[in-house]
Amino acid sequence: NMHWKDYHDLETIYGFMREIRSKFPNIVRLYTIGQTAEGRDLKVLRISENPRENKKVWIDGGIHAREWISPATVTFILYQLMANWENQPAHIRGLTWYIMPVMNPDGYEYSRTTNRLWRKNRSASRRAQCNGVDLNRNFDIGWNGYGSSTNPCSDTYRGSSPASEKETKAVAEFLAKRKYNLEAYLTYHSYGQMIVYPWAYKAVKVKDSAVLQRVASLAVDRIAQKTGSTYRAAVTHEVLGIAGGGSDDWSRAALGVKYVYTVELRDRGAYGFVLPPRYIKDTALEGWTVAETVAQAIKTSS
């Protein structure tokens, strides 16, 4: 059974998704959008009372294998939504939510069983000892640019071509088909306690960056109130440097999504990727706070 006192393996997370579907058969759909190189399913839940008309929010986690707090947070968001769906405010119930807790299942399991600090997926490369592509360098935006590597042994290897990876391709195709009314793309990573928005692939701000900054700042304030943690709102390239091929930039450039945020969860380096389980609950609450704030912003701007 699901809880947030510890991290879970992929099968437990997928079991939780199936359980949500069977509890809410009328509003929840469970998609298998593809398979990984090692044959694992890529799963996405849709929660919606009105799929034809609602504005849509996409949430993903687990792009990077070792960032365990990310799938934990995204499953917590799912729990927050569904545990109390009937009593959610209209601006939450009136959205269509797409939730993908683990975009990189092969990497996640590899990090759990074999190499805790693994980052990439596990697809085979031409260099035997150096498997894996950084999925957050593999999307078709600024792919041939700065901040990623052409070396398969690098942790930021961009892959042999844009969307060369099955995970990237599955997500990109799924979203491209659903870009109508897609208002938000939220992707959860760790660590650093930051909420960042495009662009990352070039040192330019998006035209509506003032709006993105305002909503992110509001989330930062609410997080401080709720848990006492200090997050920072900023343009990606200004705080993390230039990097092409990210899912966040792609969702804005290719799909025109307005509220695009990468959330770097806890901590700020004390434990780094190996965040002790006792911090999961509050960190996940911080992640939920971002999603709530964005949902409210969508409602206000329409």
The residues assigned a catalytic role are: 264
If one asks whether residue 243 binds ligand 0X9 (CB under 6 A), the answer comes out as yes
Structure tokens at 143: 């792919």
Please select the residue that binds ligand 0X9; options are 10, 163, 171, 200, rule is CB under 6 A.
200
Positive or negative torsion for Cα 271, 274, 278, 282: positive
Q: Which does 243 bind (CB under 5 to 8 A by kind): Zn ion, ligand 0X9, none?
A: ligand 0X9
Please select the residue that binds ligand 0X9; options are 2, 30, 234, 240, rule is CB under 6 A.
240
Q: How far apart are the first and last CA of the chain?
A: 39
Please select the residue that binds ligand 0X9; options are 55, 64, 122, 252, rule is CB under 6 A.
64
Task: Pick the piece of the chain touching ligand 0X9 (CB under 6 A) from 28-36, 96-104, 244-252, 290-298.
Answer: 244-252
Question: Measured between alpha carbons, how far is 132 from 138 in angstroms, rounded to an integer?
Answer: 11
Rounded to a whole number of angstroms, the minimum distance from the CB of residue 108 to Zn ion is 12
Q: Among residues 34 and 246, whose Cβ is nearest to Zn ion?
A: 246
Q: Judged by CB under 6 A, how many residues of this single chain contact ligand 0X9?
A: 14
If one asks whether residue 66 binds Zn ion (CB under 5 A), the answer comes out as no
Pairing of β 194-197 and β 232-235? parallel
Question: Measured between alpha carbons, how far is 3 from 157 in angstroms, rounded to an integer?
Answer: 34
Question: Measured between alpha carbons, how far is 290 from 302 in angstroms, rounded to an integer?
Answer: 19
If one asks whether residue 252 binds Zn ion (CB under 5 A), the answer comes out as no
The DSSP annotation for 24-67 comes to STTTEEEEEEEE-TTS-EEEEEEE-S-TTTSEEEEEE--SSTT-
Residues from 103 through 122 that contact ligand 0X9 (CB under 6 A): none
Question: Measured between alpha carbons, how far is 80 from 173 in angstroms, rounded to an integer?
Answer: 28
Rounded to a whole number of angstroms, the minimum distance from the CB of residue 150 to Zn ion is 20
What does the binding site for ligand 0X9 look like in residue numbers (CB under 6 A)? 64, 67, 136, 189, 196, 200, 236, 240, 243, 246, 248-249, 262, 264
